[in-house]
Chains A and B, each alone.
Chain A
Amino acid sequence: MEDEVCEFLKQNRETAEWLESIRGDCESDKLWKHRREFILRNLTDFCGPGQTPPALLSNHRGLDRLLAYSMVWTNHVFTGCRYPPPVMEKALKMAENIKITDAPVHTTRDELVSKVKKSGITSSNEGLNEVPSKRRSTDVSRTAAARTNLSEGLNSSANVGCTADQYREGQRTETSFYSSAVPQHWSGSNECHQKMVDAPRRPTDEDVKERQSFFNKLYKRVAWKLVSVGGFNPNLDYTEVLGDCIKTLKSTLDITFVPLKELAELPQNKTSQENIVCELRCQAVYIGMGCGKTKASAQAVASREAIKLFQKKKVVVKICKRKYSGHDVEDLVLLDEESHAPHLPPALKNPQDLL
């Protein structure tokens, strides 16, 4: 892509010179390289198809608008600014084919102030090379001791997973349902929910107990599975490992996808590429979340997060407050025993109608 630009500039000396006149005095090479590409790609749309682009000092309105958008885009990608949605959409669309390899990571003011920590959600391009928790959990006896009888209620059929595609539809209805709080909305497209829900209810200690024993089992399964595949390493197919383990316990993994921009509480990603968020649940308990370019990569990240959790000394099911479409709701969450006050990303599904 870059070569393409260089090649083009070599052939069009005039345009190259003109471009240099536009470069800001204090723009770094990297920033300029990207902005230059942005300007070139959109030049004809804004300044007409003429041979020579308008001079900078002519205050050409089209050119100024293009420059403004080039700044919007670089400010967004490299400096971490956010603009109103229509502006953002347009800028990102104009930059559709530009590849960015190493955009810096920033925390915006709103994120800082509202304490939505980035750590709550992991994106696929960070942490892949990270060494997982040092404490390898081989403490099998401890897990065994903590085991209680597997509750009969935990037959796998009690938990029906929504497939991802169904979900998109369902999610919207849910949102409207919860904002208006009118119960008769339980009809129509929301089939998969309907099957298992009588009425929305809050998780209870009973629920926790029930699920704890299941997860103790799953914990062991994951540990053995990892041993068989050679330990936790970056080359694992996390989705497969997690899926297999859950399958052997005759349960299902509940996978939810939502586009990132529908989640107001989450930090929006800079590069516009990782825009699918995936939430994993098992037995209605939240076990991990991740985001990525595609559904598959998002799910891989989320699975990795979940497996990382199983690397800890012990996992516990707890009732925690999470955000769901702007409100605090109580949710069943799988946590590391030693984690205090976890930063939980917002839920993608209303936890209360999973029970």
Chain B
Amino acid sequence: MGVPAFFRWLSRKYPSIVVHAVEEKPKECNGIKIPVDTSKPNPNDVEFDNLYLDMNGIIHPCTHPEDKPAPKNEDEMMVAIFEYIDRLFNIVRPRRLLYMAIDGVAPRAKMNQQRSRRFRASKEGVELADEKSRIREEIMSKGGYLPPEQIKERFDSNCITPGTEFMDNLARCLRYYVADRLNNDPGWKNITVILSDASVPGEGEHKIMDYIRRQRAQPHHDPNTHHCLCGADADLIMLGLATHELNFTIIREEFKPNQPKPCSLCGQIGHELKDCQGMPREKKGEHDEFAGTPPGSEQEFIFIRLNVLREYLEKELTMSSLPFPFDFERSIDDWVFMCFFVGNDFLPHLPSLEIREGAIDRLVNIYKNVVHKTGGYLTENGFVNLERVQMIMLSVGEVEDSIFKKRKEDDENFKRRQKDKKKRMKAERNPTFIPTGQFAPRALGRGNSSIPEAVNNPRQAAYEMRKQNLNSNDKETLSGTKRKASDSDSEPEPEDNIRLWESGWKQRYYKNKFDVESTDEVFRRKVVQSYVEGLCWVLRYYYQGCASWKWFFPFHYAPFASDFENIAELFKEFETNTQPFKPLEQLMGVFPAASGNFLPLTWRRLMSDPESSIIDFYPDDFAIDLNGKKYAWQGVALLPFVDERRLRAALEEVYPDLTPDEIRRNSLGGDHLFVGKHHPLHDFIHELYRSGCKEPTDIPPELCHGIQGKMDTDDGAILPDITVESPVPMLRSLTQNSTISIKFKDPQYEDGYIFKAVVLPGAKKPSITLKPGDWERTNNNGRPWRPRLGFNADRKPVHLEQSAFRTLGHALPQARGHQRDGLYSNAPPPGAYNPAYRMPNSHQPPLFNVLPIQRMQNAWPARPPLFSQPPQRPFGHNPIQLYPNPGHGGPSNYYQRRGSDWNRQPYNQGRNYKSGRYNNRK
């Protein structure tokens, strides 16, 4: 879901849902990498049964990463994807099933968003390439150095769309990968792998949901299956809740703000493309041994525990004295539904509901107030009760006016505060004649030491001050800084002609956004109707699957909550038996003309030929309405909608031009199931092939942990003792293969079957994580509540023994609060003569001098690292010293655990969520 703020809001409000993942890294011994044995118990103190991968969340960062240089070619990309899956597998260690789902053709409702993303991406890609070549030219002309341009095609991320050759290759590579791991990796020995590639229609996460839904509805499903779903989209949380499975965890990459990104021109970290100077690369460490990515820069993972979120929601949503029995599961469904108002991929969000302004809390409050009157829940099994929804919407509508006014007020307050702050900062700056640094005047009796600090290194400081004066000799300080004209905000605000805070906002909104007069009730009603249909469609999509492949919201903006009058009559039923687009058809629908190279020639021509009968779908440039936002990518792209009839009619003429390969790529495929030779199902499947069975066969439930579905033999299957050719030149072919694959189809249900949104009988509730509200009252022998941090309630907390504290006290600066003047305060001034500070190894450059000196003074080689310093500091000649031998350092308890706890540290720092943290786009 394109709601970046949603996860931030959620993790702030319900912090205990987040658990940091523990990752066991492969060890290296004598230059040989020893892979992690994933058949061992999970280091996270939890065992997962099923791991679901929403592959698009993996493909994007692996093919065009933001935090490291991009892979050179498609082969490297594939390897990067394999490694990423390996990492995830190592962390999660599923024991029964690995389900990989690549986005297939999406429902029409999603097409508008996809179109807008791809039209923008294509333009951004071209602009970046232009910018790069321009700066490269500039740098070269100034005599700078840049690594030679790699001969590679610009990777157009638009190729990550079903139907392209890239996706076809990817599917092939993943089949090879699965076969390889099933053959060779002990952790994979007993698991079943299902691969749903891009030829299977449906978005990845919804294919996964469909799978879970259909398994849950059959009698052999284990109600205590522990699911783990990988993906960064916020709607996975909603989807997970919607399954009503009690053990559901989501794993995603932790987003760390302000990570250094390498310059895309010279590949160095520390500056952006536009500031690139073409300087030679700095040597990292004496022998450049620290080159490559700096430590700690690798993305780490976090778990989001939905069972904890359920606990939180139970506390929040439970209502007493209702006119009907309270059912927590139903109230969760209502909560999920209300989250859709705030944002989802298929509908623009209501103007008055902004997640940053606590819209969900507001909705929950209104919901609790209104639920007494509604006489029941808003939704049931994914079907909406519109009369009740109307009550909620109109209640929101009542406060809409004040929301807009408050928004304006907050905005202005914020601006004023910023301005005041700027002013204050300016005023607080001392005049230049007041010395700074250690000579700065200090008020008596302030700070935590009564004695003024001794002046450190006075010569250096004096030198600095002289130099500073030299610099400030320019005109500016002599004649005083010229004042700028008042109120000069550097960037002019985009004009807002809606002014939602002034009366008449509704008329202005409709006039400006929809270009209709305020009197045009019919049109307004149409917008509301479409939105109501949209809400029904989205909820159904989450709970029952795609109701209509054709439906879409045909406007760029949402109506107001107060417009939702008499909505019950607005929605009847969706058109049934709609068909998804074929992959190439969908490509025609979402690509700009600039990405036409992924399409056959005659198809491509339809995108640019003035004679084409669908030329209106492909504008070169389009309007963007910032809609109160600051950057172009945040705004609403006003792209024309695709007319399905005309698209199909135009394509009919070019269908005969497809090559056999393109026809294959354009067809809809199915899921594939893979097992290794130790799996109980292996022989069963092998027998199907041997007997030449052509009928779809049911999976015997006892062979596969109760997983059900139909299997059908596949002509292009991977079979035992048949070599699996490697699709990637740098990887070897599998000559001794024992993996077997077969087509797989989810269990089918008759038309009109309704999947029940309930907890299955026999499901055991996981133990609680949150502190019970009545903890103090119930007798716990007076024990205080101990917060649970990880998956395991009985996990031993880390503690230090006395000797460890002694060690720490010895290594850390003596007086904690006492301010020291930084790392280099003991360094001799440049060119100083005082030999007392010099150490024998003074031939080294001064930077590397500093730390070894301290260490040698302490004369204890196996010191623990100084915690106040980041571990990635280049420690010159002896980096090994840094990491103490666990057996050597004394309080071994602490150090043995250190490996994992060290990993935790960045997370704690990261908790300080900065604003804009989740603003990075996908």
Assembled-state Cα–Cα distance A110/B626 (Å): 13
Docked CA distance A106–B593 (Å): 22
Within 8 A of A (CB), among B171-204: none
One of A60-68, A195-203, A214-222, A325-333 contacting the partner: A60-68
B: number of interface residues (CB 8 Å): 48
A71 adjacent to B640 (CB under 8 Å): yes
Across the interface, do A82 and B620 meet the contact criterion of CB distance under 8 Å? yes
Shortest C-beta distance, B641 to chain A (Å), equals 8
Stretch touching chain B among A26-34, A149-157, A163-171, A243-251: A26-34
Please state if A109 and B614 are interface contacts (CB–CB under 8 Å).
no
A residues in contact with B14, CB < 8 Å:
none
In the bound assembly, the distance between CA atoms of A28 and B520 in angstroms comes to: 9
Mark the stretch among A83-91, A130-138, A231-239 that contacts chain B. Answer: A83-91
Say if the beta carbon of A1 comes within 8 Å of chain B: no
Interface string of B635-651 (1 = CB under 8 A from A): 10111100101100110
Q: For B615, give the chain A residue with the smallest CB separation.
A: A68
CB distance from B921 to the nearest CB of A (A): 15
Contact between chains at A26 and B616 (CB < 8 Å):
no
Kindly state whether residue B419 has any CB partner on chain A within 8 Å: no
Known: A68-B612, A78-B515. A28 touches B619 (CB 8 A): no
Instruction: Give the docked Cα–Cα distance between A72 and B484 (Å).
Output: 47
CB within 8 Å of B: which of A215-271?
A: none
A265 to B: closest C-beta gap in Å: 13
Give, as a whole number of angstroms, the nearest-CB distance from A260 to chain B: 15
Option from B484, B613, B615 in Cβ contact (under 8 Å) with A340: B484
Whether B771 is near chain A, meaning CB under 8 Å from some CB there, is no
- Given A25, A28, A90, which contacts B514 in the complex, CB threshold below 8 Å? A28
Q: Is B608 in the interface zone, CB < 8 Å from A?
A: yes
Contacts of A75 in B (CB 8 A): 616, 619, 640
State in angstroms the CA–CA spacing of A86 and B609 once bound together: 9
Inter-chain contact B621/A82, CB cutoff 8 Å: yes
Q: Which residues on the B side are within 8 Å of A72 (C-beta)?
A: 615-616
Q: Does A7 contact B (CB under 8 A)?
A: no
Q: Is the beta-carbon distance between A26 and B526 smaller than 8 angstroms? A: yes
Option from A25, A71, A86, A113 in Cβ contact (under 8 Å) with B610 = A86
Q: Which of A312-350 contact B (CB under 8 A)?
A: 338, 340
Contact present for B488 and A71 (CB under 8 Å)? no
CB distance B640 to A79 under 8 Å? yes
Q: Are A113 and B632 in contact (CB under 8 A)?
A: yes
Distance from A337 Cβ to chain B, minimum over Cβ atoms (Å): 9
| B621 & A31 in contact (Cβ 8 Å cutoff) | no
Report if A107 contacts B (CB, 8 A). yes
A145 near B: Cβ within 8 Å? Answer: no
Alpha-carbon gap, A69 to B616, bound state (A): 7
Also in contact, A61 and B645, with CB within 8 A (given A107-B623, A108-B621, A109-B622): no
**Interfacial residues of chain A within 37-71, with CB under 8 A of chain B in the complex:** 56-57, 59, 61, 64-65, 67-69, 71
Number of A-B contacts (CB under 8 A): 120
A67→B622 contact, CB < 8 A: no
A61/B619 in contact, CB under 8 A: no
Q: Using A30-B515, A104-B512 as known contacts, say yes or no to A59 and B649 having CB atoms under 8 A apart.
A: yes
Find out whether the CB atom of B646 lies under 8 angstroms from the CB atom of A68. yes
Assess A109 versus B530: contact at CB under 8 Å? Given A28-B523, A81-B619.
no
Instruction: For A25, give its contact among B516, B517, B554, B613 (CB under 8 Å).
Output: B554
Nearest residue (CB) in B for A78 is: B515
Interface string of B592-632 (1 = CB under 8 A from A): 01000000000000001011111110111111111000001
Q: Is the CB of A57 within 8 A of B645?
A: yes
Scan B215-248; emit 1 where CB is below 8 A from any A CB, else 0: 0000000000000000000000000000000000
B649, A64: Cβ atoms under 8 Å? yes
- Residue B127 contacts which of A59, A65, A106, A113 (CB distance < 8 angstroms)? A113
Contact call B608/A109, Cβ cutoff below 8 A: no
Distance between Cα atoms of A112 and B615 in the complex (Å): 24
Q: How far is the CA of A87 from the CA of B554 in the complex (A)?
A: 25
Whether, in the assembled complex, A120 has its beta carbon less than 8 Å from a beta carbon of chain B, the answer is no
Of A84, A86, A104, A107, which one neighbours B515 at CB under 8 angstroms?
A: A104
Q: CA–CA, A171 to B721, complex, Å?
A: 75
B9 at the interface (CB under 8 A from A): no
Distance, CA A106 to CA B516, complexed state (A): 16
Cβ–Cβ contact B530 & A26, under 8 A: yes
The answer on a CB contact under 8 Å between A87 and B127 is no
A residues within 8 A CB of B620? 82-84
CB distance from A61 to the nearest CB of B (A): 6
The one of A24, A90, A106 in contact with B623, judged by C-beta atoms closer than 8 angstroms, is: A106
Do A106 and B619 have beta carbons less than 8 Å apart? no
Set of chain B residues within 8 Å of A84, measured between Cβ atoms? 593, 608, 610, 620
In this complex, the interface size class of chain A, counting residues with CB under 8 Å from chain B, is 35 or more
Judge whether A68 and B526 touch: CB under 8 Å.
Answer: no
Contact at A65–B619, with CB atoms within 8 Å?
no
Question: Do residues B621 and A109 form an inter-chain contact, with CB atoms below 8 A?
Answer: yes
User: Bound state CA distance, A28 and B555, in angstroms?
Assistant: 11
B694 CB within 8 Å of chain A: no
B114 to chain A, nearest CB (A): 17
Contacts of B637 in A (CB 8 A): 109
A83 contacts B515, C-beta separation under 8 Å: no
Contact status A79-B615, CB under 8 Å: no
B678 at the interface (CB under 8 A from A): no
Tell me the bound Cα distance from A305 to B638 in angstroms.
31
Is B619 touching A82 in the complex (CB atoms < 8 A)? Answer: yes
Which B residues between 480 and 536 are near A, CB-CB below 8 angstroms?
Answer: 484-485, 488, 512, 514-517, 520, 523, 526-527, 530
Interface string of A95-111 (1 = CB under 8 A from B): 00000000010111110
The answer on a CB contact under 8 Å between A79 and B638 is: yes
When distances are taken between beta carbons in the complex, the residues of chain A under 8 Å from B593 are 84
CB distance from B386 to the nearest CB of A (A): 20
Residue of A nearest to B555 (CB): A26
Chain A CB within 8 A of B838 CB: no
Given known A59-B652, A81-B621, A340-B485, contact A112–B613 (CB-CB < 8 A): no
* Choice from A64, A83, A104 contacting B646 with Cβ under 8 Å: A64
Given A25-B526, A28-B520, A28-B523, decide whether A64 and B613 contact each other with a Cβ distance below 8 A.
yes
Contacts of A83 in B (CB 8 A): 615-616, 618-620
Shortest beta-carbon distance from B712 to chain A in Å: 36
* B120 interface residue (CB < 8 Å to A): yes
Q: How far is the CB of B630 from chain A (nearest CB, A)?
A: 11
Q: Is B123 an interface residue (CB 8 A)?
A: yes
Docked Cα-Cα span, A71 to B555, in Å, equals 15
CB pair B649–A30 under 8 Å, yes or no, is no
Q: Within residues 154 to 184 of chain A, which ones have a CB less than 8 A from any CB in chain B?
A: none
What residue in chain B is nearest A66 (Cβ atoms)?
A: B613
> B621 contacts A340, CB within 8 Å?
no
- A247 to B511 alpha-carbon distance, docked (Å): 46
The reply to whether B615 and A81 form a contact with Cβ atoms under 8 Å apart is no
- CB-CB under 8 A from B610, the residues of chain A are 84, 86-87, 90
B108 to chain A, nearest CB (A): 14
Closest residue of B by beta carbon distance from A341: B490
Residues of B whose CB lies within 8 Å of any CB of A are: 120, 123, 127, 484-485, 488, 512, 514-517, 520, 523, 526-527, 530, 554-555, 593, 608, 610-616, 618-626, 632, 635, 637-640, 643, 645-646, 649-650, 652
New A-B contacts (15) at CB < 8 Å, excluding given A26-B526, A68-B616: A25-B526, A26-B554, A26-B555, A65-B611, A67-B643, A68-B646, A71-B643, A78-B515, A81-B639, A83-B616, A106-B623, A107-B625, A107-B626, A108-B622, A110-B621
A-B contact pairs, 29 of them (CB 8 A): A25-B526, A26-B526, A26-B530, A30-B515, A59-B645, A59-B649, A61-B649, A64-B613, A64-B614, A65-B611, A67-B643, A67-B646, A71-B643, A78-B515, A79-B623, A79-B640, A80-B622, A81-B638, A83-B615, A83-B616, A83-B618, A84-B593, A84-B608, A84-B610, A107-B623, A107-B624, A109-B632, A110-B123, A113-B632
- Across the A-B interface, the 5 shortest Cβ-Cβ residue pairs: A80-B623, A106-B623, A71-B616, A81-B619, A64-B613
